[in-house]
Amino acid sequence: MNILVTGATGFIASQIVHDLLQQGHQVVCCARDTNYAKLMFPNATIIYSNYFKENNQAICRERLKNIDIVINTVGILYHPVPRVIWTVHFETPRALFDACLAAKVKCIVQFSALGSEKSDTPYAKSKKAIDDYLLSLSIPAIILRPSLVYGRGSYGGMSLFRGLAGLPWFILIPGNGQQLLQPIHVEDLSKAVVRLIEQPK
């Protein structure tokens, strides 16, 4: 299949691209740093993409020629200007999803946020808004909301936990330490994505 992956050099997306290429799929990688992307994925097609600025369908339509599936992994946990978060999480993907509909893309895989229904942060609210919009379209869609994703090259919360686990003394934890947490390894998440898009339904 011909698959377009946004944010292709990111922690999660780079594993997905690697696994898709291993399975023989044709992958179009959208990334801001195209030189880095070419080094990572010499067998993929690399396209410059900037989610901060590309919130119109015309740009998206050019990229979707012959594309069967779109995997949107772009996300930013924090920005001091909430409007920027909404641009990256809602306005730009909305333009992409509308273009997918016009281009008759077979399926969209959207990476969202666990707990987005309950949180009131700009990150979660913008992710929830684009999830709802995607589900309103007449195009097959898969919305994934993984828990903490860990693995080589991870950053953010999981890197903090890995660092704390390596400390040579006791670590204070909130409450009684019985909070439920279900992290997932990036390779397992990637394999799940590959299996999902290869399903006939």
User: What is the pTM assigned to this prediction?
Assistant: 0.89
Q: Per residue in 20-33, is it b (16+ CB within 10 Å) or e — as a string? A: bbeeebbbbbbbee
Tens digits of per-residue pLDDT, 119-153? 888 999 999 999 999 999 999 999 999 988 888 86
